[in-house]
Amino acid sequence: MLSVLEQLIERVEHHLAVIYQDVELITTYPELCKQLLETMRIDNSDLLVEPKRHHNNWDQQDVMLITYGDSIEKSGEKPLHSLHDFLTKYCGDAINSVHLLPFFPYSSDDGFSVIDYSSVNEALGDWDDIRAITTDYRVMSDVVINHCSSRSAWFENFIKGEGPGSDFFYTASLKDDLSKVVRPRTSDLLRLTETPHGEKQVWCTFSHDQVDFDFRNPAVLDTFVSIMRQYLDTGIRIFRLDAVAFLWKKIGTSCINLEQTHEVVRLLRTLIEHAVSDAVIITETNIPNRQNLTYFGNANEAHGIYNFSLPPLLVNTLVTGSCKHLKSWLGSMPPSQNGTFFFNFIASHDGIGLRPAEGLLQDHELTALVNTMQNFGGRISWRTSEDGKQKAYEINIALYDALQGTVKGTDKWGLDRFICAHSIMFGLEGIPGIYIHSLLGTGNDYEKVKNTSHNRSINRHKWDYTKLQEQLALPFSQHSKVHARMIKLLNIRKEQPAFHPSATQFTLQLGEQIFGFWRQSMDRRQSIFCIFNITDEPQSIRLSDMNLIGTDTWFDLISGHTMCLEDLEYRLAPYQSMWISNIGS
């Protein structure tokens, strides 16, 4: 019988054989495997941790706050210190995980054009500040794996033609057939760069300041394994592989979701799990739903995938007053296997991506959604489609403003509609991620857009901590009301076994105006019927439509009311949410 180390070596060599099947290497798979195991420091059988297969290292208490390191600032204090203080004082036990968006030195894209992966941006703090947060919270770090800054030392060495990184970057030719390449941007794909070896056309999926790596070079892979090992050493346990779908390039193909890309994710999972058994990989793949699901593999690839179709479908539901498409999508989604989970979110540092809604919403419905968001102050980011036309790629808007009204215009139900959206997300199968500006009810930041000329800045406000504390101390301020209601929902959620990320879920058929689904705990003791009026008019629901077991006592966990099964129907106020459970909180 093979030892744990021997089995690991066999697996890693298989991963490498798939990744480099079309690449002529100057080393052998055993030699490269040995190097990777040494880099991750798992080359000694005495240090190996055998990961459990199909094991959930998460439960219903897992909730993640998504934030930049400087989303909260205080004069004279390091932003990471201010953020840590905010988490302690204003999140309490309601949130146990934090996604710290890129906290490294960078040159553009608010951190996603990384200059140095091994350093903390001095404007934010240092590694001690990161370690302090990892002591109290489970921290997710970005691994910006597809590209880095054109101002990085690696790319400067590429330009000089010598030194570390000089062979890290993917180049092509203007004569290559690039017609099938899928792009999320409208800028030119190739960047002309002068080097001692002549002019080079450097591949830039996103911008000319974000130069793409060439993973055909094993040194690039080994470098990122080293980076992830460093992050593990600082206490980081969750890795968000940013834009990973574009990682492997092959001329004549779409250069997205290629077989080698999936195998790189599998390899990274194998390595980090053997180093730290509860380490987790989440893939960030803003692509159509079916393609996104493939990153689960056979429960051997990403532990978690972003549920990118949820934001556009949920916003569309609440502004149209029809849950038809949301219900259809949810009913068609496969349950996650044990050992995997959906990462649910409805707002982020970017915007509401529209590619994941392709095939789920029709073109005229997408156009109506875009127009409604523009009426609420949103901006639109565009991409060039396969046929050369400009298509809306992303809606840039603060979620609080996105839900201030319906297709009919703004109304008085904005706060209730906003809370309804989160009540839905908090109840769904998976782990919820809450953007800090949703937790605080922050609106569109037009001034920042004006200053940066970037659409995404509209939802990247920086709070002065003193002013924020003043707002949260006012009982009737917009920010105080949002924060209080969100924290209340999260505190209820974390006590419910039926809200375990992998607990059973079924979509209910309650018409187009009432959205609902049923969750059941893994031990089958608790059932929760999640019911939502997604319209601006009162709606009635028959309890008999949900088949509540008459021998149980049922409670609405949100209102605290006991349900009377003898009542023929219940009347729901506009955007009212109910979590009806057979076990009281």
Among all residues, which ones are annotated catalytic? Answer: 242
Write the CA distances from 358 to 71, 350, 408, 433, integer angstroms.
32, 18, 24, 23
Tokens of 381: 């980011």
∠407-412-417 over CA atoms, to 5°? 65
530 beta partners: 517, 579
- Alpha carbon distance 140, 392 (integer Å): 29
- Alpha carbon distance 200, 309 (integer Å): 38
Tokens of 291: 């393609």
- Alpha carbon distance 222, 225 (integer Å): 5
Matching residue, tokens 């002019």: 199
213 beta partners: 169
274 annotated as ligand-binding: no
- Alpha carbon distance 9, 33 (integer Å): 7
The amino acid that residue 48 corresponds to is L
Residue 339 buriedness (CB in 10 A; 0-12 / 13-18 / 19+): middle
- Cβ–Cβ < 8 Å for 191, 184: no
- Alpha carbon distance 442, 483 (integer Å): 10
Write the CA distances from 289 to 381, 392, 513, integer angstroms.
20, 17, 24
Helices within 407-462 (DSSP H only): 414-427, 436-439, 446-452
- Alpha carbon distance 73, 466 (integer Å): 9
349 annotated as ligand-binding: yes
- Report CA 114 to chain centroid distance, whole Å: 19
Which H or E run contains 402? helix 399-402
456 annotated as ligand-binding: yes
Length in residues, the chain: 585
Residue 93 buriedness (CB in 10 A; 0-12 / 13-18 / 19+): exposed
- Cβ–Cβ < 8 Å for 527, 563: no
Which of 158, 78, 153, 84 has its CA nearest to residue 120? 78
Matching residue, tokens 């974390």: 494
241 annotated as ligand-binding: yes
Contacts of 89 (CB under 8 A, 6+ apart): none
- Alpha carbon distance 90, 447 (integer Å): 26
Tokens of 313: 């479908």
Cα(first)–Cα(last) distance of the chain, in Å?
49
Tokens of 229: 């090992």
The 8-class DSSP code of residue 10 comes to: H
The amino acid that residue 275 corresponds to is A
Q: How many other CB atoms are found less than 10 A from the CB of residue 350? A: 20
Contacts of 335 (CB under 8 A, 6+ apart): 429, 502, 504, 505
**Binding residue positions:** 109, 147, 240-242, 349-350, 456
**Binding residue positions for substrate:** 109, 147, 240-242, 349-350, 456
